[in-house]
Amino acid sequence: MENFKINGGRKLAGEISINGSKNATVAILAASLLNKGKTILNNVPQIEEVNRWLEVLGSIGVVIEKSGSQLILAPPKKINLKKIDKSAAQKTRSVILLIGALIRQFKKYSIPQAGGCKLGKRTVKPHLFVLENFGLSVEASKDSYEIDASQFSPAGEFVLYESGDTVTETALLAAAQIEKKTIIRMATSNYMVQDLCFFLQQLGVKIKGIGTSTLEVVGLSEIKKEVTYEISEDPIEAMFFIALAITTESNLMIKRCPIEFLELELLKLKKMGQRFEIRRQYFSKNKKTRLIDLAIYPSKLTAPEEKIHALPFPGINQDNLPFFVPICMKAKGRTLIHDWAFENRAVYFTELNRLGGKITLLDPHRVYVEGPTKFTHAEMMAPPALRPAAIILVAMLAASGKSVLRDVYSINRGYENIAERLQSLGAEIEMTEE
């Protein structure tokens, strides 16, 4: 068990650069299985979620070379699903992307049931409805998905049952393996979906409508190409450091923020009284994603009159929503935060009451946050969900005194070397094992 020991309440200073996106990386790792040639990925975050994917890919025969943030993936002549690392697969929900990625390689196959964050019931039905359009039959058992792809065929035009990110990626992976045109409606245009589209384009797949809710895809029956792709930066990691700067009342320069996926979040903060400055605008190394360097200044916040809730892009990102909880704890007044997408995640928000919060759970999706709050130290277990655990870490860094956050695997799933990076900003934090 890994724990964080924190001596909080310190004002932080300096600059931090945002790493590559977790969610884009796992989608592109799945898509690399479409390529019979070598795939080179740069700016890959060195996190536990990616490690689990590499264990899965390695177990089925993919040859992996890893050097810092670069991965080189060489596919085997034949994938061996019988040797799949079930333990690693069951620790990440995104392993469901293997269903779409393996359609061309097997007539019938099985993959382990997905795991990941514990956020209540998260149905896989929308994925199965997508695959039905391509002639697939999928049966879900207790431990696995049994897939019959013997009738794989063009889907033509269809509407997604749920406008979800991973669901859209499943549709893209299937459509990328069909030479005829596929039209996907009600697609999301979130950051990880756009990154996947950019990668597929480099493989030779034709895609129109990137950044919109309608995607036109003309795929290939076979792909064999050496390709190099740069993963774009993670807007959710950027929001972590924005929330950290605000709650600790610090001057921070946050570099390489993907602004297209933070614009509404920053506007909400501006209307609450938060001061910030965009210092520089430029493109990521993928030449697609717009980045900024963002300076955050200590500010006095007022709670917004309207509720804060997430929506599919270009709304507030689902994974950015939790960071408004510690932020609103600093704001004068009462804020309604509505987390409609997950049955249980809002319940985790009340854990911040142990750190001085005044958070009232209205139902499984909504909380009231009263502020301003003086953060207090505590010893706690990290929730088994990435973003709820991350906001507890933010609050502990803002709380004067010594706090302990135990079993932080959920944080390490999504944030690379987070203790060392926080130390570089002046935080007193160390990782211990017991």
pLDDT tops 90 at residue 143? no
CA distances, 214 to each of 40, 168, 169, 177, 224 (Å): 29, 10, 13, 18, 27
Cis amide bond preceding 364, omega within 30 = no
pLDDT digits (tens, 9 = 90+) for 209-252: 999 999 999 999 999 999 999 999 999 999 999 999 999 999 99
Cα separation of 119 and 98, whole Å? Answer: 22
pLDDT tops 60 at residue 355? yes
Tokens linked to 282: 């430029």
- The mean pLDDT of 109-127, rounded to a whole number, is 69
Q: Which residues have C-beta within 8 Å of that of residue 206, sequence separation ≥ 6?
A: 216, 217, 218, 219
pLDDT digits (tens, 9 = 90+) for 72-90: 999 998 999 999 999 999 8
pTM here is 0.95
Domains and CATH numbers, the chain: 2-19+233-433 (3.65.10.10), 22-220 (3.65.10.10)
